[in-house]
Structure 1
Amino acid sequence: MPAALEEITPSWLTGALAPQLASESVTVTNVESDPIALGVGFAGGLGRLSVEYDRDSESAPKTLIAKLPSAHAPTRNLLTTLGVYEREVRFYQSVASEIPMRTPKCFVASFDSESKGFILLLEDLGAMRSPDQTVGCAVDDAKLAVETLAKLHGSIWNSPLLGEWNWAPNWDAGAEVFASSFPGWWARLQQNFPSAISDEFRKTAEMVTPHVASIKSRLSRRPVTLCHGDYRLANMFFDDTDKASPLVVFDWQAVRVGRAPYDLAYFLGGSMTVEDRRAHERQLKATYYASLIQAGVTNYSEHEFEEDYGYALLDLVSFTALVGGNLSFDNEQAQNLMIGLISRVADTLSYVDAERLIANLP
């Protein structure tokens, strides 16, 4: 299995694509790779493969997106320990074709249980519209994203399938590790992004610190569904030519089983500008909830939904510290993306009664 883009050879790629192109009997004669998404994807290495074959073929992809472990050793070691690389491979192997959310076509999904290496070869969607998360999600795109999210959540609400997908951890898996590691992560976050941490955000983090594990336990209680875990604008393409399925969602490394509003809170809190979120958050939450009920969810009140949304925002404190305190931000685009996430999440949290929510934890 290739461990880096430059290790993807014509011979290896021919064998890897053979099951998908069995009827074609084509041979890869040349493959060139170029790194992409620098400063956008923190957790893995991404590259676009340009592929040539020994004969013409309509079904053989001329370009592919390759995803491999991060070349940044601390990031790679952390995410391997957390199991996120294996998780995304299992998602494409078992789930992608079963959900009402469009994902990139997957040509290869392979994980080595001994080396913990992995590789994904995905459909190249680079021609689609891909808005800049640092600029912020447009309101119409946000409406589409929350409606599509509700359909996903509703389709697997308390489903028996969640028990079969044992590679997808419950929300509180590793909660004690998060709790014990959070103070160090938070310290590094402040060191890495000192000007981005407001006094109010710092106070909220101090309140959350003793309750990191309890918040995760709260979000793992039924009713639960399959959560994307990293539902943000940078992980979306918009196909404006396809009215039936215009949204394509990728990067499923953080998929977990938990309370549905986490994905919504993360998306609204991290992907919209502060001004747009303040102006439209209430309506977008109402759109999501109505779509969830329309998808068949019952016995889930608006009050319970609002409470879950608040706890999800509190959980974002530890997630923000995990990302900002551990992953690689070695260029300006990556740094700006993280600074934007910090400031937007902090502002969203400022509208939450954190003291009341924490006081009501078991």
Structure 2
Amino acid sequence: MPDIREWKDIDADWLTAALCEGGVEAKVRSFEAGRVGTGQIGDCVRFKLDYATAPPDAPATLVGKFPSEGEQSRATGIQLGNYHREVKFYQLLQPSARISTPRCYFTDVNEDTHNFVLIMSDLAPAEQGDQLAGTSLEETKLVLKEAAKLHSAFWQDETLDQYAWVSGTTHAPNPIQPELVAMLWQGFKARYGDRVSAEAEQIGDLMSTNLDANDEIRSGPRTLIHSDFRPDNMLFDLSNGDKPVTVVDWQSFGYGPGGADVGYFIAGAIDPATRRAHESDLVDLYLSDMAALGADDYDRQVFMRHYVSGAYQHFLTAFFAAMVVNQTERGDNMFFRMLNGAVDLISDHDALDWFATT
């Protein structure tokens, strides 16, 4: 089995061993490696392979994922358990997940240091989604169909609750303390000033000081949820009828309400006018697919509460991540796209005061 190493230390023999772990008997002679993607917590690298010997179906390229080279982002990935969690997804949950994911050739994690490596299929010519550009209505529908596959596969599956590495379970640690959330929100407002709208300030002030209300808002049927279900974590190739959307970045998944993934995605992926015009039809599509896949008891009213909770989660992710990863211009613009999209959805559903204390 290959060892766990940084991507710059990988050699041809290591790639040969990784392919062997994935069932490909080939010998890599040489390769080229270069960074791809826009990940904030993990770094992705494409390996272009030159073989000495290989079967006809050996991949021409592979994509590897590694801890972030940015010190702050790497520390966050370790603190939140992101690296360990993603490896466990591919090792234990991917075979049952139904949702379209990359083929995993090899993955492993050091549970003490959280160093990890994940070697996956390269899905080019599929292109990474862009949170700033958003998604078309057609792409949005395809994404919701993938969400239904995932959520129906683990619908009310209480066996998930035994895993400490699945966020939100009985045994999972909670590395995010309320005091930290409140501190980061105050820091976010101080850093960005007038860029934070009055409605966003209202939502953040209430939510950051009353996180306990989240438990009631998200109560109800549970399943495996991606928890960072947004365009940047998806690859799109609408010409591929079998795999038009592939979902990646399984660092944050948890045990929670399926509707939260739907609201999380829609809040940040489509513009408010398009959402308002098509929201009911999009909800119908998701619930219809859930029912067809065996999860036919998701009450629409409960779903809508979960859906709005997903927008709140989108809001929280935006300001939290902005303050704990290495700051970039694209990152700032992306986080505000997320934040403001969440504000619009929450406001449209008259939910601005959901975290108000009584």
Contact preservation (8 Å) 1:178, 1:212: no
CA separation of 1:19 and 1:299: change in aligned 2, threshold 3 A: closer
Q: SS at the partner of 1:354?
A: coil
Partner of residue 306, structure 2: 308
Partner of residue 334, structure 1: 331
Structure scoring higher RCO (CA < 8 A, sep ≥ 6) equals 1
Contact preservation (8 Å) 2:28, 2:53: no
Using the TM superposition, give the Cα deviation of residue 280 of structure 1 relative to its aligned residue in structure 2, in angstroms.
Answer: 2.0
Using the TM superposition, give the Cα deviation of residue 358 of structure 1 relative to its aligned residue in structure 2, in angstroms.
Answer: 3.5
d(CA) in 1 for partners of 2:153, 2:4: 36
How many correspondences in the alignment?
Answer: 355
Q: Deviations over 1:193-249 (max 9, x none)?
A: 434311111011112122213304642x44100001111112222333432442211
Q: SS at the partner of 1:95?
A: helix
Using the TM superposition, give the Cα deviation of residue 192 of structure 1 relative to its aligned residue in structure 2, in angstroms.
Answer: 4.2
d(CA) in 1 for partners of 2:313, 2:177: 11
| 2:321 is aligned with 1:323 | yes
Partner of residue 12, structure 1: 14
Q: Deviations over 1:245-285 (max 9, x none)?
A: 42211111111000111100110001112332232223212
Partner of residue 183, structure 1: 182
d(CA) in 2 for partners of 1:217, 1:321: 22
Partner of residue 260, structure 1: 258
Partner of residue 205, structure 1: 204
Q: SS at the partner of 2:211?
A: helix
AA at the equivalent of 1:311: S
Q: Deviations over 1:55-77 (max 9, x none)?
A: 24323322111100111112211
AA at the equivalent of 2:333: N
d(CA) in 2 for partners of 1:355, 1:269: 14
Contact preservation (8 Å) 1:212, 1:315: no
Contact preservation (8 Å) 2:268, 2:341: yes
TM-score with structure 2 length normalisation? 0.90
d(CA) in 2 for partners of 1:149, 1:63: 28
Partner of residue 293, structure 2: 295
d(CA) in 1 for partners of 2:242, 2:15: 33
2:147 to 146, 149, 170: 149
Identity over aligned residues, as a percent?
A: 26
Partner of residue 31, structure 2: 31
d(CA) in 2 for partners of 1:129, 1:324: 24
Using the TM superposition, give the Cα deviation of residue 354 of structure 1 relative to its aligned residue in structure 2, in angstroms.
Answer: 3.1
Q: Which moved more, 1:274-283 or 1:92-101?
A: 274-283
Q: SS at the partner of 1:177?
A: coil
CA separation of 1:204 and 1:240: change in aligned 2, threshold 3 A: closer
Partner of residue 352, structure 1: 349
d(CA) in 1 for partners of 2:54, 2:337: 46
d(CA) in 1 for partners of 2:224, 2:285: 19
Partner of residue 246, structure 1: 244
d(CA) in 2 for partners of 1:109, 1:82: 19
Gaps of 5+ in 1: none
Contact preservation (8 Å) 1:129, 1:240: no
d(CA) in 1 for partners of 2:21, 2:315: 43
Partner of residue 232, structure 2: 234
Q: SS at the partner of 1:237?
A: strand
Partner of residue 134, structure 2: 136
AA at the equivalent of 1:28: V
d(CA) in 1 for partners of 2:216, 2:58: 46
Using the TM superposition, give the Cα deviation of residue 93 of structure 1 relative to its aligned residue in structure 2, in angstroms.
Answer: 0.8
Contact preservation (8 Å) 1:86, 1:111: yes
Q: Deviations over 1:103-161 (max 9, x none)?
A: 01111111011221001011111212444331221001101111221222122111244
AA at the equivalent of 1:78: T
Contact preservation (8 Å) 2:129, 2:233: no
Task: Let me know the Cα RMSD of the aligned residues.
Answer: 2.4
Partner of residue 284, structure 2: 286
AA at the equivalent of 1:132: D
Gaps of 5+ in 2: none
Contact preservation (8 Å) 1:2, 1:8: no
CA separation of 1:174 and 1:309: change in aligned 2, threshold 3 A: farther
AA at the equivalent of 2:12: P
Using the TM superposition, give the Cα deviation of residue 339 of structure 1 relative to its aligned residue in structure 2, in angstroms.
Answer: 2.5
Contact preservation (8 Å) 1:178, 1:213: no
AA at the equivalent of 2:33: S
Task: Give runs of ≥4 in structure 1 deviating > 6 Å.
Answer: none
AA at the equivalent of 1:321: F
Contact preservation (8 Å) 2:96, 2:153: no
Q: SS at the partner of 2:210?
A: helix
Using the TM superposition, give the Cα deviation of residue 187 of structure 1 relative to its aligned residue in structure 2, in angstroms.
Answer: 2.5
